[in-house]
Structures are given as structure tokens and as C-alpha cells.
Structure 1
């Protein structure tokens, strides 16, 4: 497991990695972790007995095994020579245990990596994936999803100050066999989450950050939306779901549940009502977002759950066939994972310092 602990003013972060036996219960502390400077993310092939840490501080990809319950460094690859000057929102995709791809939209490329020897074998141009009206383009969470022989993900864009969201999104198709990229326009903007229904339909949705911006100034973000791409199709539907209309309040996020159900975050304006001077970050981080449940095939089914409100930030993780989301404190100093799939879902799971940034089954 990886987590990030932010400084008091959120201008810097320190990353930590834990090796745990069970993510469904208990807690971990900083004294049990391996500390890494700056922001870091973890990736890997489940049960391959190794994992990879991408460090934004050192601009490296490090390969780790696990020995005696602790991470053990097995190799390191520098990224500066590949034209990467900073990392933000990177993602990895794997084609077997020894072949991986690091997607970095800041440098508009995907690096193919021979993981057995930790060497970059080629760079794949990603410039067509960039959103021209944005300063930064990001791949959506939780990353690429398999779609036949290819993988698919949406992208969205923001201003450099994160105070505006681009009105458009794109959908990317990636074929790891030959490294080819196909880019298609999405029917609405700000698409930051992807869920696959049991039917094979893919649903893309904007997040509470978009909803926060749109609430304060509709000129700074597109209206929160959800788009579908039907099973067997490679074009999204042109008709989208207006999420705010479904719930009647600022709405975002899309977290998979079981049997075609998903969960949304909806701002409870009776708990937090923005004033004239409120910022989008205050709205986003306010512990005033309620959890709603929605049947993906019937958006009008959305209903509020009797659950404690939480902050708007969402991280989603998929482990052992189950989905987990974060329940973070308003200051993001602590996070409890919540399992959103299974007969007893939602169910509270492991608690850790900071914000959970990655979970991977190593063995």
C-alpha cells in the first residue's frame, strides 16, 4: 500500500509504502512504513511478487520485491534522459510481468519499459491525447481498463492553477501489442472516473472537483456529467446524464459497487453552503459530501444513503476482485478504506495516515 502525507499548507508531500497482510481490517502507522521523499505512486501486475514505485521527487521508476515483510529494492530507472522534467498524474499499464508502459501526458509520451532489465525501449507519441484548451491533461482514475485486446481510459484537462476545468474530454484506446493509440472525442468534459458494469458497458463521470468549480462559477467548469460507452462499441453515446439534475445538488465521482450499482458524492448544502468568498477548494474539501447509490442502467434511481458525510476527494482502488474508496478526514491527515463491493458493502476496512495512493496484491 502507498500513501501520501501532505504538509500543513499542501505545498509538499511525503510518500510511504506499507506491506500488509489484509486491507479489510486494522490500521498501520508511519513507524511501520518505508518513507519516500515527495509524491510517489505504486503499480504492478497482481501477484507477480514485485511492484514498481514511480517517484515524482527523483523522476525514477524503482522495482521492489518483498523480503521479511519489507520492500526490497531490485532496480531503478531514471526518467530525466527520456525528456521527463516533472511527473504529475502518471499511470502505468502492463503487458505481462516484464513489459510495461509509463504514461506521462506532461511530456506527451508513453515510455515502453523492459521491466526485466529496467530499460526504456521506446517512446510513443501521445500529443493527440492532449486537450488544447488545458494547461495540464490527466488520465482518469483508476487508469486504463481492458476493452477486448485494447485498454481504454478518458482524459480531462485543467488550468495551471487548477481553478478551471476544460469543457472537453477525450477517450483513449491503447493497444499494448503494437503500442498504437486511438483518440476519440468524449460527449462532455471533466471525465475523471471510469466504471465497468456487469454488462460490459463503460461509464465515465466527472468528479466533485468539477462540481465544486461549477457550483461557484459555471464558466469555470462543465456541468457534472456521466457518459456511457456500450459493450462492443468504441464510440461513447452522444446523450449524457446531467448528474446535478439526477440528485438536485452538486454531484461527482463514480465508484463501482456490485451488480451494476455505483456510488456518487453529493454536496449537502445544508451542511456546507458556500458564501460569496468561498473557494472551490473549500467546497471540495468540506466534510459535507453525502454518499448516494445509483443503478448505472437507471440514473433516475439515485438515492441517498444513511452514511456520514465526507470530503469530496476520491481515490479508487481495485484489489482481489473488490473495489475500495477512500474515506479521508477533511485535512487529509488520515484515511479509512471503504469496500464498496460485496454483500455487506459498503464496509469499512484498513485505516492509514495521510491519503491512500495505491493498493496492489503482491502475492
Structure 2
């Protein structure tokens, strides 16, 4: 029998992998629609948390009026879901839903005038062969979202207004034997086309990462595949970061950097770019992150505003690396420093205001703010850190349990 510590670790890794594929999760949840039922029109945020009790997982969705540090959460008022839940939202529309891993369903909710969550329609993704839920959505319009299904190598087209499954887009070109095809945790729109990356990870057998990155280009008017490109200059990419310039950067994850250090990924930590207006990787650009930071283990991009991104750098003087380690043993060590990389100057500096921690940090974009998470070692509570606060990072709301989801819905 697994110990309690190992059960929790596996559950947390599963949460990170299904929320973001590899640690950290990118979410962009801007303000939602008007007040519910003519009631309170002030801001409303949803905070999703999980609590583990032995081998039992319980999820909660809390409604709060603010993300400020002084905000308190009353667990007795939360929506409770058995098992691992996933929080979905569409920025600017006030649309949100809760995914249930137990039966692979989406249930839409609305907010009542007294700020209670009211259940609406439910759809199941079982008929499409979905085995587990990821929290990534590609928003096309108020009546169309794409749900990426890595295990099934497909995109499921959903009408979120009608809460109906419209069709599927098959992507057999993204399959790689022995690897999970991890579709990007964000996407880029270009003239009626949506672009997202594919990274290939083996978390089950060899703990390896494939040294290449796919780029899927879909026509959103016809829901058809325009093309699938493959770039062999950089591997382990999962997350796009869009700069104020309009350029989109794609940087290898901390897990990929760890895999390279352990000899399980051929490409060193790196970044690719799609220039503003383009729909393909820039063939003239690839950045070696070790040159940027003078550190061999670096990755995990998080938006920092402007033309910058945060990176995580493994401090080898404080951490340990053994040849037979699993990659998560490196990402889980609390020795990852925070750095900010300005892509226009190609310079990176360490952020001393943020202490070193694990690379397994979820992050959320809410409007113009980007929040990271800081969980207690036993995951009894999680504090949001406003990474883009004026004057430097600052602590925000603290929630009970492991915080997995965040959205502004009003």
C-alpha cells in the first residue's frame, strides 16, 4: 500500500498534469458579464480547491468578491464535488462550467443574485472517447470552443451557449508511439486560424521527452486541419506567452529542462517564436535559455507583462541531481529561482523578492494580473502571489486546500 505522502504526491502530480499537462498551468480569465439576475454587480471570482483525505479527493468551488490578501473564504458556503473537479471559464462572457473527472462531464453554472452557484446544463464527453479531463479550452467565439483531447489525438468542438457537442477534429498526425501528445495550454489566433503546439512526453515508462515540437494550424471557419508543422530545434514546449509586440514565444518547460539534464531529452532548454501576423515558427529564431541565464536547468514560462516572461532556474548549489532520478524529483525540489526575461533585450535577471520554490507552480492570468501559487507542504492551504503587482510581487488571497482553478466571472 502506498503511504499517505505518496498518495498525495501522485494526486498532486495528476492534478498538475491534467490541469496543465506539466507544471504550471496557464489560464486567461478576464472579467465576465454583468450582474446576475439584477443583483450584486460587483466583481465575482471563482476559486477551485482540492482536499485529500487518505485516498479520497474532494473538490470545492468558492465564490469570493476579491482576491485581496484580506479576503476570507468560508468552506461551508462552497460548492462541493466528489473527486477531482476542473474549472472552465470564457473570459469576458461570464460563462463557466465545472468538469467532473468521475464521469467526464461539463456542467454549466450561473451565479444567482445572492452569489450562489446554480446548476444548469450538463454535457458528457464519453461518447467522444475522452478518458480524463484537461482544463485547457481554446475559445473561438461565444458559440464555439475547442476542447483538446491529448489521449484521443482530437479536438472536440463544443457550443458553450447551447451546451452541445458539435463535432470532432481528428489529429492522427500528432500521434507518437510511446508518448502522450500534450496539446498547448494556450493558443494563438491568426486570420481565422488557430495555432497551438504539441509536445511529446513519456511519463509512464521511460520518463522521456521527445526533442521536437509540433504546431497545429486549424481553420476555425471549417473546423479542418490546415497543416501540422514539426520543428526539431526545441522540445518539451507546452505554453505560449504572447508579448505586447504581438510576437508569441514558446519556451520549454522545467520538466523538459530536467529531462535534458538527466539525458532524456536531446534538445537543451530553449525557446521558439511566431512573429506577429505569422502562422509558423520563425525559422531564423531559436534561443538557448542556458545562454540567457547562465544556468543549465531552466524553463517554465509565465507571462510577466510587456515583452517579458518569468522563467524558473534550478539552483544546482542548493539542489541535488542524480542520474537515476525521475524528472519530478528535480521539479519538486524547492530550489527553483524566479527570473524575468526581457525578450527584446535578451537579458534575464533574478527576482530576489520571490523566494526559491518548486517548479510545480500553477499560474493564472486574470485580466492584466498574473498570479502564481504558494502551497503549504501538506497542501492544507494555498496563497496566491500577484506576480505582476506594481512595485513587485505581493501576497493575495489564501484558500484552504490545494488551489487548482481561478476565474473572474463577473
TM-score norm. by structure 2 comes to: 0.79
Q: Is 1:202 the equivalent of 2:251?
A: no
Kindly indicate whether residue 331 of structure 2 is the aligned counterpart of residue 284 of structure 1: yes
Distance 1:78 1:28, change over 3 A: same
Gaps of 5+ in 1: none
Q: Secondary structure at the match of 1:324?
A: strand
Contact 1:50 1:66 in 2 (8 A): no
Aligned partner of 2:179 in structure 1 is 135
Instruction: Point out which structure has higher relative CO (alpha carbons under 8 A, 6+ apart).
Output: 2
Post-superposition Cα deviations, 1:136-171, rounded to whole Å, max 9, x if no partner, equal 111223x22333433322221211427211222112
Q: Match for residue 269 of structure 1?
A: 316
Q: Deviations over 1:279-329 (max 9, x none)?
A: 322211111111011101233x11111121111113232212322222334
Matches within 5 A, 1:121-160: 121-128=166-173, 130-141=174-185, 143-160=186-203
Measured in 1, the distance between the counterparts of 2:338 and 2:170 equals 39
| Cα deviation, residue 201, structure 1 | 0.6
Q: Give the total of aligned pairs.
A: 357
TM-superposed deviation, 1:59:
0.7
In 1, the alpha carbon distance for the partners of 2:234 and 2:56 equals: 32
Which of 79, 102, 116 is the aligned partner of 2:125? 79
What's the counterpart of residue 43 of structure 1?
A: 88
Question: Map of 1:296-315 to 2, 5 A cutoff?
Answer: 296-299=343-346, 301-306=347-352, 307-315=354-362
Q: Which residue of 2 aligns with 1:175?
A: 219
**Quick check: 1:227–1:236 contact (8 Å CA) kept in 2?**
yes
For the pair 1:98 / 2:128, whether they are aligned, the reply is: no
- Specify the SS of the correspondent of 1:157: strand
Change over 3 Å in CA distance of 1:29–1:147 after alignment to 2: farther
Question: TM-score when scaled to structure 1?
Answer: 0.88
Provide the C-alpha distance between the structure 1 equivalents of 2:299 and 2:392, rounded to a whole number of angstroms: 20
Residue 13 of structure 1, CA deviation:
4.5
1:217-236 matched pairs, under 5 angstroms? 217-220=262-265, 222-236=267-281
- For the residue of structure 2 that corresponds to 1:213, the secondary structure is helix
5+ residue gaps, structure 2: 1-45
